[in-house]
Chains A and B, each alone.
Chain A
Amino acid sequence: MLCYSARKRISSLIDGELKPGEAKQLEAHLAGCPNCAAIFDEMAGARSLFAGFERFPAPHGFSTRVMAAIQGQPEVGTRWNPVFARFAGAAALALAIAAGIFSGGILTGALGPIHYPTKETVVASLSLDVFEASPPGSLGKAYLASTKENR
Chain B
Amino acid sequence: MGNPPPPFSSNGTTQGTEDLSLIGAFNKGDASAFEALVLKYQDRVHTLCRYMLNNPEDAGDATQETFLKAFRNLGYFTPDASFYTWLYRIAINTCLDHKRRSFLRRVVFPEGGSDLLESLPSRNPTPEKLYETKESLHAVQLALQGISPTLRAALVLKEMEELAYEEIADVLDISVGTVKSRISRAREELMKILRNKRKRETLKG
**Which residues of A line the B interface, CB within 8 A?**
8, 10-12, 15, 17, 42-43, 45-59, 62-63, 65-67, 69-70, 73-74, 76-77, 79, 82
Contact = CB atoms under 8 A, between A and B. Distances in A.
Contacts of A17: 164-165, 180
A70 B72 CA distance: 9
Contact of B46 (A12, A50, A57): A57
Contacts of B198: none
A73 B159 contact: no
Interface in B157-178: 158-160, 164-165
A60 B159 CA distance: 25
A54 to B, nearest CB: 7
B35 interface: yes
A65 B63 CA distance: 12
A45 B46 CA distance: 26
Dominant secondary structure at the A interface? helix
B137 A54 contact: yes
A67 B38 contact: yes
A77 B71 CA distance: 11
Interface residues on B, range: 35 or more
A52 B133 contact: yes
Interface of B: 1, 3-4, 26-27, 31, 34-35, 38-39, 42-43, 45-47, 50, 56, 59-60, 63-64, 67-68, 71-72, 74-75, 116-117, 120-121, 133, 136-137, 140-141, 158-160, 164-165, 180, 183-184, 187-188, 190-191
Given A56-B46, A69-B68, 20 more contacts: A11-B183, A11-B184, A11-B187, A15-B158, A43-B191, A49-B140, A50-B140, A51-B120, A53-B137, A53-B160, A55-B47, A56-B59, A62-B42, A63-B35, A65-B64, A66-B35, A66-B42, A70-B31, A70-B68, A82-B72
A65 B68 CA distance: 11
Contacts of A42: 191
Nearest to B3: A55
Contacts of A48: 117, 120
